[in-house]
Amino acid sequence: MNMLDRPQALVPADPPSSAMAARVSGELSFQSRRMVVEWWAVLAIATLAIIGISLVSPPVRADNLVYDLILRLNPPPASQRVLIVAIDNRSQSEIGRWPWNRDVHARLIDQLGTAGAEAIGYDVLFPEPSAPTGDAALAASLARSGKVVLASYIEVPGPNGAPALRVPPAPDLARAARASGHVTTRPDRDGVVRGIDILSDAQGRRDRHMSESLAALVTGDTGLLAAAVPEAEAPVYARSRNLIPFAGPSGTYPQLSFVDVLEGRVPAEVIRGRVILVGATAAGMGDRFSTPMSGTLETMAGVELHANYVDSLLSGRMIRPVPGLVWLGYSLLPVWALMMSLLFLGPRINLWLGIALAFAVFFVSMVALAIFRVWLPPALALIAIGLIYPLWGWRRLDLASRYMVAELRELRSEPDVLPRQRQVLQGDPVEKQIVLMHEAIRDVRDLRQFIAQSLDSLPDAAVVSDLEGQVVIANDAADALFAARLPGALLGRPLSDLFRALDFDPRLPDPRAVELLAAMQARTLPPDSGYETRLADGTSLEIRVAFFTDAERRPLGWISRFADITELRASERQREDALRLLTHDMRAPQASILAVLEAEGHKVPPELARRLERYAHQTLGLADDFVHLARAESGRFMAEGFNLSEAVLDAVDDLWPLADAKRIRIVSDVPEEEAWVTGDRALLTRAVTNLIGNAIKYSDERTRVEARVRVTTSKVIVEIADEGRGIAAEDLGKLFEPFRRLAPPEGAPAAAAAPGAGLGLAFVKAVVERHRGRVTVTSEEGKGSVFGLELPREKSAD
């Protein structure tokens, strides 16, 4: 086959030696294994680093920034059920300097009770007794109300080396109040208060916060109010933390001035049914805290912080931090996903996937906090994603660079295809890499020039065009072919001009050329396409077109070959003349002889007539066998898909009279599964007929011939078994030679001397091999033979 018959190669590449193939395969396998090992190493290091950071120094500040941002973007609505009575600057101005007499607080509690307040949280510390009349008045008011929660505080550490000291309200007041609770608030490391610690002692007894006691009073949770409290100096442990979903900055919850409520200036309807928090907001009084909702300089009074806490407890919208293991898994999952993609996908996809994973982590944390009130800290996962991609990218680049340098060095050490001078490698590693790359590029350019020159040396005209059909390379034979047909150079011309120049009449384009060009433009050209044409000067051309691809199997252009087959067609005509001689000039006399012998009244003696008839039939059979063998060896088939089992059954039916004449039983064994093959049905049927006919011809009377078909995953197998005399082992290799007939053994029966010219098995072998199959034979003298043919199986008739 000419090299341009190949659909996807310009120059046929020599098959690499086994050593070279093994080296390349081994190197790629080693690099692949090394990359996998490094991938596992990076994955393990990243996993251990994330676990270590989560245990030792989690990125709390970064998480807090994200938390604050999400909370500010989606604050919950402030409940109008909560009302603050503020000890503000105006109250101090009208009532007097702080601290006030406790009977003032008693009067306020009475006013709130009279107005119908649902519950009162009093964020004012009364740790020590004061004037007896004031304490008595306040205790009486607390007792009358029955729904006041007083504030206490916890000192950590306590005095005199104690781990802690719980300071409750004065005893008379504590007994009169409905409940009490601490107002201790611990900001985060950045000084911002985001939640309230859940405190308890070593036995798990809770230190209730004032807001928690107030919420329990409102909801009727008597169990929490009646629960045992820790001892005064018992150690304090922060078991967990309640994150507060702040409703807004300072001033979000409605406030009333202390003095306005005290003097009865506020309508009772404003207070009735509301949860009241009393606390200081005046300048210089009480604690003020920075919260996620605070601005640059803005702070929030402690009583407002408690209002947010109470509102969140009553509305059931407290933010729940996920457990540590869940957070760790949430941080590891996107890292593992990115690592999996880094192993299997390309850098660009991995870059976008890494960005998408980072956005997904942030989005999940935002949705969980904004909608489900669950806090999933995202910073650790985001930091890991941001570090993993460049780290693995660096490892891949380093590995690719080392592999490239190793391959370039190996390429440099191989024998040169073209003579050249090599530069001495010296200098730093980067300079050496540049030298190696420069030499490789130069080799490619020189090799391209060499290929172009090799193309010029081809005897057939060859043209290379791009996907748009513009000629980019044309060899000398192509220039010579089209020199008298097209003016100017071929380069840059449309391929359609070349086809049009070969038309017998330029005004009438060859429809085959038009169809071929249309298929090329639509990218639907089969791998081996073309046609034959005859030029005006009598030259016969075979035109073949095939596409070629890059390393990624993407089409790059077209290779067109214009082969002069004038001499080939002349020799084929001579072959056809010889076949016509055999089929007509030799058959006609024999047919005439048979016609004379079959006519009544001929004067040929009977014995001579029988001999002449036998000789005529033998001559006709020889001519038929020769014609069929020549057709099989020519390779010109009428290919179609068909069931080979049907061909076997047809052959058995055709030869049944011959077998019946010798009283030989023919048994056919075909599977229910269809044995689809592709090929010339007539030739394959005749090949099977020849095998069965030989089995009948060389078998004794009253024996058995079996024709069976077997189907495997990839093959269809036909076997013809007989019970004849068998074949010697040394003669098996001669069976399929043309005109080869084995001499019958001494004393063999008459069947062994059956007539024939020795072309039947040669025909079988030629047909089967032309159909990409093979012929087999096994035999044992005295027991019979098994002839088989194997053909590629097709899945269906298509």
Task: Please state whether beta strands 704-711 and 529-534 pair in parallel, antiparallel, or not at all (unpaired).
Answer: unpaired
Give residue 346's domain range: 44-70+322-401
Which among 254, 251, 255 is positioned nearest to 300, based on CA atoms?
251
DSSP 259-326: HHHHTT-S-HHHHTT-EEEEEE-STTSS-EEB-TT--SS--EEHHHHHHHHHHHHHHT--BEEPPHHH
Task: Report yes or no: 292 and 246 within 8 Å, Cβ to Cβ.
Answer: yes
Give SS3 for 341.
helix
Please tell me the predicted confidence (pLDDT) of residue 394.
72
Give the bridge partners for 192, in sequence order: 290
Q: Is 60 exceeded by the pLDDT of residue 746?
A: no
Give the mean pLDDT of the chain. Answer: 80
**Among 515, 538, 564, where does a domain finish?**
564
Say which CATH number the domain at 641 has.
3.30.565.10
Q: Is 70 exceeded by the pLDDT of residue 579?
A: no
User: Within 10 A of 628 (CB to CB), how many other CB atoms are there?
Assistant: 21
Please tell me the predicted confidence (pLDDT) of residue 19.
44
692 and 599 within one domain: no
Please tell me the predicted confidence (pLDDT) of residue 336.
83
Which among 42, 84, 24 is positioned nearest to 304, based on CA atoms?
84
Please tell me the predicted confidence (pLDDT) of residue 608.
67
In angstroms, rounded to a whole number, what is the distance separating the alpha carbons of residues 86 and 93? 13
390 and 252 within one domain: no
Is the preceding omega at residue 99 within 30 degrees of 0, hence cis?
A: yes
Task: Report yes or no: 183 and 123 within 8 Å, Cβ to Cβ.
Answer: yes
769 φ, ψ (degrees, to nearest 5): -70, -35
Spatial neighbors of 202 by CB under 8 A, at least 6 apart, are 234, 235, 237
Which residue type, as a one-letter code, is found at position 203?
A: Q
- Give the residue, 94 or 420, on which the prediction is more confident: 94
In angstroms, rounded to a whole number, what is the distance separating the alpha carbons of residues 350 and 718? 54
Give the DSSP H/E element, type plus range, for residue 354: helix 347-370
Say which CATH number the domain at 536 has.
3.30.450.20
Task: Report yes or no: 218 and 314 within 8 Å, Cβ to Cβ.
Answer: yes
| 493-516 pLDDT, tens digit each | 888 888 888 876 666 777 888 888
Please tell me the predicted confidence (pLDDT) of residue 766.
81
Please tell me the predicted confidence (pLDDT) of residue 149.
93
Task: Report yes or no: 154 and 207 within 8 Å, Cβ to Cβ.
Answer: yes
Give SS3 for 474.
strand
Please tell me the predicted confidence (pLDDT) of residue 8.
36
* CA geometry: angle 511, 517, 523, nearest 5 deg: 135
DSSP 542-603: EEEEEEEE-TTS-EEEEEEEEEE-HHHHHHHHHHHHHHHIIIIIIHHHHHHHHHHHHSTT--
123 and 265 within one domain: yes
Please tell me the predicted confidence (pLDDT) of residue 14.
39
| 45-54 pLDDT, tens digit each | 788 888 888 8
163 and 178 within one domain: yes
Task: Report yes or no: 247 and 306 within 8 Å, Cβ to Cβ.
Answer: no
Residue 544 lies in a domain: yes
pLDDT category at 413 given cuts 50, 70, 90 is low
For the ranges 115-119, 427-431, 640-644, which has the lowest average pLDDT? 427-431
Q: Is 90 exceeded by the pLDDT of residue 22?
A: no
Give the bridge partners for 779, in sequence order: 785
649-657 contacts, C-beta under 8 A, 24 or more apart: 650/685, 651/685, 651/688, 651/689, 651/692, 651/707, 652/692, 652/707, 654/689, 655/689, 655/692, 655/693, 655/696
Q: Is 90 exceeded by the pLDDT of residue 730?
A: no
Give me the percent of the chain exceeding a pLDDT of 70: 78
In angstroms, rounded to a whole number, what is the distance separating the alpha carbons of residues 501 and 490? 12
Task: Report yes or no: 705 and 668 within 8 Å, Cβ to Cβ.
Answer: no
In angstroms, rounded to a whole number, what is the distance separating the alpha carbons of residues 701 and 748? 13
Residue 71 token pair: 């909370």
pLDDT category at 9 given cuts 50, 70, 90 is very low
User: Within 10 A of 609 (CB to CB), how many other CB atoms are there?
Assistant: 16
Task: Please state whether beta strands 275-280 and 119-125 pair in parallel, antiparallel, or not at all (unpaired).
Answer: parallel
308 and 164 within one domain: yes
Residue 663 lies in a domain: yes
Which among 466, 494, 498, 496 is positioned nearest to 479, based on CA atoms?
498
Q: Which residues of 554-588 are buried (b: 16+ CB within 10 A; e: fewer)?
A: eeebbbbbbbbeeeeeeeeeeeeeebeeeeeebbe
pLDDT category at 32 given cuts 50, 70, 90 is low
Number of structural domains (the chain) is 5
Q: Is 80 exceeded by the pLDDT of residue 638?
A: no
| 201-240 pLDDT, tens digit each | 888 888 889 999 999 999 988 777 767 777 878 888 887 8
pLDDT category at 768 given cuts 50, 70, 90 is confident
| 324-362 pLDDT, tens digit each | 889 888 888 888 887 777 777 777 787 788 788 889 989
Give the bridge partners for 314, in sequence order: none
727 φ, ψ (degrees, to nearest 5): -130, 140
**Among 401, 417, 433, where does a domain finish?**
401
For the ranges 440-444, 470-474, 704-708, which has the lowest average pLDDT? 440-444
Which among 194, 186, 368 is positioned nearest to 293, based on CA atoms?
194
For the ranges 156-160, 265-269, 312-316, 670-674, which has the lowest average pLDDT? 156-160
Spatial neighbors of 44 by CB under 8 A, at least 6 apart, are none
Length reported for the chain: 798
* pTM for this prediction: 0.52
Give me the percent of the chain exceeding a pLDDT of 90: 17
Q: Look-up: residue for tokens 């030029």? A: 535
Residue 721 lies in a domain: yes
579 and 511 within one domain: no
Q: Is 90 exceeded by the pLDDT of residue 275?
A: yes
In angstroms, rounded to a whole number, what is the distance separating the alpha carbons of residues 685 and 690? 9
DSSP code of 542? E
**Among 296, 316, 336, where does a domain finish?**
316
Q: Is 50 exceeded by the pLDDT of residue 18?
A: no
Residue 630 lies in a domain: yes
| 582-634 pLDDT, tens digit each | 555 555 565 666 666 666 556 667 666 666 666 565 565 556 665 565 565 55
In angstroms, rounded to a whole number, what is the distance separating the alpha carbons of residues 336 and 46? 9
Spatial neighbors of 660 by CB under 8 A, at least 6 apart, are none
User: Within 10 A of 747 (CB to CB), how many other CB atoms are there?
Assistant: 6
Residue 699 lies in a domain: yes
In angstroms, rounded to a whole number, what is the distance separating the alpha carbons of residues 657 and 506? 60
Spatial neighbors of 579 by CB under 8 A, at least 6 apart, are 627, 630
Residue 87 lies in a domain: yes
Residue 596 token pair: 């004379």
Q: Is 90 exceeded by the pLDDT of residue 200?
A: no
623 and 591 within one domain: yes
CA distances from 249 to 186, 244, 357, 453, 595 (A): 19, 13, 33, 82, 122
Q: Is 90 exceeded by the pLDDT of residue 257?
A: yes
Please tell me the predicted confidence (pLDDT) of residue 738.
62
Task: Report yes or no: 718 and 789 within 8 Å, Cβ to Cβ.
Answer: yes
| 53-78 pLDDT, tens digit each | 888 888 888 888 888 888 888 888 98
592 and 551 within one domain: no
Please tell me the predicted confidence (pLDDT) of residue 537.
78
Q: Is 70 exceeded by the pLDDT of residue 551?
A: no
| 96-155 pLDDT, tens digit each | 888 899 999 999 999 999 999 999 999 999 988 888 888 899 999 999 999 999 999 888
Residue 431 lies in a domain: no
232 and 222 within one domain: yes
Dihedral class, residue 160 (left if φ above 0, else alpha if ψ from -120 to 50, else beta) = left
146 and 53 within one domain: no
Please tell me the predicted confidence (pLDDT) of residue 169.
92
Residue 253 lies in a domain: yes
pLDDT category at 11 given cuts 50, 70, 90 is very low
Spatial neighbors of 110 by CB under 8 A, at least 6 apart, are 141, 144, 145
Alpha helices in 635-707 (DSSP H): 644-661, 681-697
Task: Report yes or no: 211 and 203 within 8 Å, Cβ to Cβ.
Answer: no
140 and 100 within one domain: yes
CA distances from 167 to 140, 601, 621, 637 (A): 22, 149, 126, 108
In angstroms, rounded to a whole number, what is the distance separating the alpha carbons of residues 527 and 524? 9
554 and 465 within one domain: yes
Give the DSSP H/E element, type plus range, for residue 151: strand 148-155
In angstroms, rounded to a whole number, what is the distance separating the alpha carbons of residues 413 and 404? 14
417 φ, ψ (degrees, to nearest 5): -70, -40
In angstroms, rounded to a whole number, what is the distance separating the alpha carbons of residues 574 and 553? 43
In angstroms, rounded to a whole number, what is the distance separating the alpha carbons of residues 120 and 210? 10
